[in-house]
Amino acid sequence: MLENVNKHFGELHVLKDINLTIDQGEVVVIIGPSGGGKSTLCRSINRLEPIDGGTILIDGKKLPQEGRDLARLRADVGMVFQSFNLFAHKTILENVTLGPMKVRKVGKAEAEQTAMQLLERVGIGTQAGKYPAQLSGGQQQRAAIARALAMKPKVMLFDEPTSALDPEMVKEVLDVMTDLAHEGMTMIVVTHEMGFARRAAQKVVFMAEGQIVEESTPEEFFTNARTDRAKDFLSKIL
């Protein structure tokens, strides 16, 4: 949950009084023009970016500024980026076991067992021993999702997870995300994939120039956007 969140980069006011509630098990899609502050919002939710004002609560707990509490809270927020961000010199299995072993202090055998289950679940169990560069973009992104899930996060953030992928690989990643949504994961997803929003999201947030301009159901937003700003944006991506 975000309350009156504000953020500046120097003179630039990137997040302007953002108020957003995400219920447990809810999937929120954030959509809007480039430069509107969507990535900054995601990064501020797990404090990759500090905010200047306001409050962010995860599971009822206020996000601390630093220290051990922050590391623990951050571990509760899984993040998947546009660029897959896997460790290039580690195998897919190692990529997935690293976090749980280091941060959650899980033993190696258990971490590997969980990792294999997750890799099977995202459909790349047979790739576990390979290095990221040996996988397709879609497989790498699914590995990144498995890696985030291995930390047993309370919330998953996805920042344009399919926009760096070749078109034929978009579906395999969206299918994994749709399954996750239907299994009850709380998710914040920055994407322009309307099919995903309609299938999986309860809420669409349209963000522009650092502000939440509209908040509605996917159906309402895509068929009957209220503001000219949103209508204009939709006319460009449809």
- Interface residues with ligand ADP (CB under 6 A) are 9, 12, 14, 34-40
The answer to whether the beta carbons of residues 134 and 124 sit under 8 Å apart is no
Which one of Mg ion, ligand ADP, none interacts with residue 14, CB within 5 to 8 A by kind?
ligand ADP
Cβ proximity of 215 and 32 under 8 Å: no
With beta carbons less than 8 A apart as the criterion, state whether 29 and 203 touch: yes
Cβ at position 210, least distance to Mg ion in Å:
13
Which CB atom, from 116 or from 164, has the smaller least distance to Mg ion? 164
Cβ–Cβ < 8 Å for 156, 185: yes
39 binds Mg ion (CB under 5 A): yes
Q: Which amino acid is at 190?
A: V
Secondary element (H or E) of residue 130: none
Q: Which stretch binds Mg ion (CB under 5 A): 39-47, 122-130, 150-158, 223-231?
A: 39-47
Beta carbon nearer to ligand ADP, 42 or 122:
42
Please state the closest distance from residue 5 (CB atom) to ligand ADP, in A.
13
40 binds, among Mg ion, ligand ADP, none (CB under 5 to 8 A by kind): ligand ADP
Contacts of 67 by beta carbon, 8 Å cutoff, 6+ apart? none
Q: Residue 172 has which token pair?
A: 């395999």
Quote the tokens at residue 44: 């501020």
- DSSP class of residue 6 equals E
**Residue 35 interacts with, from ligand ADP, Mg ion, none (CB under 5-8 Å by kind):** ligand ADP
Report in angstroms how near the CB of residue 157 gets to Mg ion at its nearest.
12
* Residue ranges with strand state E in 48-120: 53-58, 61-62, 77-80
Stretch that binds Mg ion, among 12-20, 23-31, 36-44, 130-138 (CB under 5 A): 36-44
Q: With contacts defined by CB under 5 A, name the span among 21-29, 33-41, 70-78, 95-103 that binds Mg ion.
A: 33-41
At 81, the amino acid letter reads F
Asked if 141 touches Mg ion (CB under 5 A), the answer is no
Q: Would you tell me which residues interact with Mg ion (CB under 5 A)?
A: 38-39
